[in-house]
Amino acid sequence: MNRPPRTGAKIVMYVILGLMTLLALYPIWFAILASGRAGDRLYTFNLAGMFVPTQWTWDNYQTLLQETVFLTWIKNSLIVATLTAIASVSLGTTGAFAFSRFKFRGREAGLILFLAIQAFPGILALIPIAQILTALGLYGSMYGLVIAYMAGQLVFATWMLKGFFDTIPIDLEEAGMMDGCGPVRSFIHIALPLARPALAITFLFGFMAGWGEFFLANIIIPAPDAKKTVMVGMFQMANEVNIPWGQFAAGAVMVIVPIVLVFLWLQRYMEAGLTVGGVKG
């Protein structure tokens, strides 16, 4: 396994790695190319144009941003995703700290309850949540959507933060305690600052869950166009009869590329989050 491979084997490996890299990057590259092409086609009859940019124009971006509700969609999605992330992290942190640091009756029952709620399939929570939102008069509003996302996201955030608190050594808090620090002060002055990266990552997970979700958003905010989130809006755009493909590609690029870059940038933390989060629903 650790012997240097023969030249033949090396070439084979490079070819496979190269092909897989091409496969991994091409769909996004394809969207980028299509977004810069004039006209409403995603493809081009010029084969070379499928792989390298033969022409480039910002028209599609311009039209999409100026003449459609795309920016409003983005704004809606940003609001929903940010609110979900803020709400889940702020409500989850104290509980996660307690579940990580203290032993109390009902602790195990609580942890099992967390797991059970995470096992509940998201789409099927729609029936009770739609009922509740209707009764509250929040059906069709962004706040209603945030409430729907909280059903899954709060437990996920708590579970994940608990995992992070578990990895922070307790020694510092014990030292603080020696100096007369109570549990509340040791939480605020010692544990919270140490957990800052964890809070950021949990926030990001909550944000991405709200940003990429489609099914609940599609039902809870059915109309009008200006209230939809970007996923629902773009999905609808891709299924119209006369699809403005160039604009669709431009929108896809603007939605996909930033999130991919953030993911790659914080790769290590994302992996850690998935492992610590354990049972991602």
Partner 1 sequence: MVGWSGRRLALTILAFVAPTLIGIAVFSLYPLLLNVFVSFTNKGLYHPNPDCTVTVWKIMDPACWLEKPPTGLAAPYSIHDPAIKNYGDLLGGFFTKDVLTAVLFILIAFVPLIIAWRVNHYLDRKVTRPISPGPVWLIGLVGTLVLGFLVNVADQYQMILDSGDFIMVNVRTIVYVIICMPILFVLGLTMALMLNNKHLRGVTFFRVALIVPWAASTVAIMMTLIWQFFFREQGTINQILNTLFGIEGPAYLNQAGWAWFIVVLVQVWYTYPFFMVTLLGGLQSIPLDLYEAADVDGANWWRQLVNITLPLLRPIALPIIVLSALTTYKIDAIVWALTRGGPTAGAGKPGATEFVMVHAYKQIFQTKNYGTMGAFAVILFVFLFAATLYSLRITKITKGAYE
Q: Check binding of 140 to partner 1 (CB under 8 A).
A: no
CA 28, chain centre distance (Å): 18
The token duo for 61 is: 């971006």
DSSP 32-90: HHHHTSSSS-SS-SSGGGGTS-S---SHHHHHHHHHSSHHHHHHHHHHHHHHHHHHHHH
Exposed / middle / buried, residue 162 (Cβ in 10 Å: 0-12, 13-18, 19+) = buried
- Window of 59-67, 68-76, 148-156, 194-202 that interacts with partner 1 by CB under 8 A: 148-156
The token duo for 180 is: 């007369």
Q: Check binding of 23 to partner 1 (CB under 8 A).
A: yes
Q: Check binding of 267 to partner 1 (CB under 8 A).
A: yes
Pick from 31, 81, 85, 220: which binds partner 1 (CB under 8 A)? 31
Q: Check binding of 122 to partner 1 (CB under 8 A).
A: yes
Q: Check binding of 19 to partner 1 (CB under 8 A).
A: no
Q: Check binding of 2 to partner 1 (CB under 8 A).
A: yes
> What span, in angstroms and rounded, lies between the C-alpha atoms of 97 and 202?
14
Q: Check binding of 109 to partner 1 (CB under 8 A).
A: no
Give the shortest CB-166-to-partner 1 separation in angstroms.
7
CB-wise, 79 or 177, nearer to partner 1? 177
Q: Check binding of 192 to partner 1 (CB under 8 A).
A: no
3-state secondary structure at position 221: coil
Q: Check binding of 173 to partner 1 (CB under 8 A).
A: yes
Judged by CB under 8 A, the number of residues near partner 1 is 105
CB-wise, 62 or 134, nearer to partner 1? 134
Give the shortest CB-226-to-partner 1 separation in angstroms.
20
Non-local (6+) Cβ contacts of 60 within 8 A are 35, 36, 37, 246, 247, 249, 250
The token duo for 222 is: 């059915």
> Residue 213: which H helix or E strand, with range?
none
Tell me, residue by residue from 65 to 84, as one string, x for binding to partner 1 by CB under 8 A and - for no binding.
Answer: --------------------
> What span, in angstroms and rounded, lies between the C-alpha atoms of 45 and 48?
9
Give the shortest CB-28-to-partner 1 separation in angstroms.
7
Q: Check binding of 11 to partner 1 (CB under 8 A).
A: no
Pick from 66, 102, 109, 196: which binds partner 1 (CB under 8 A)? 102
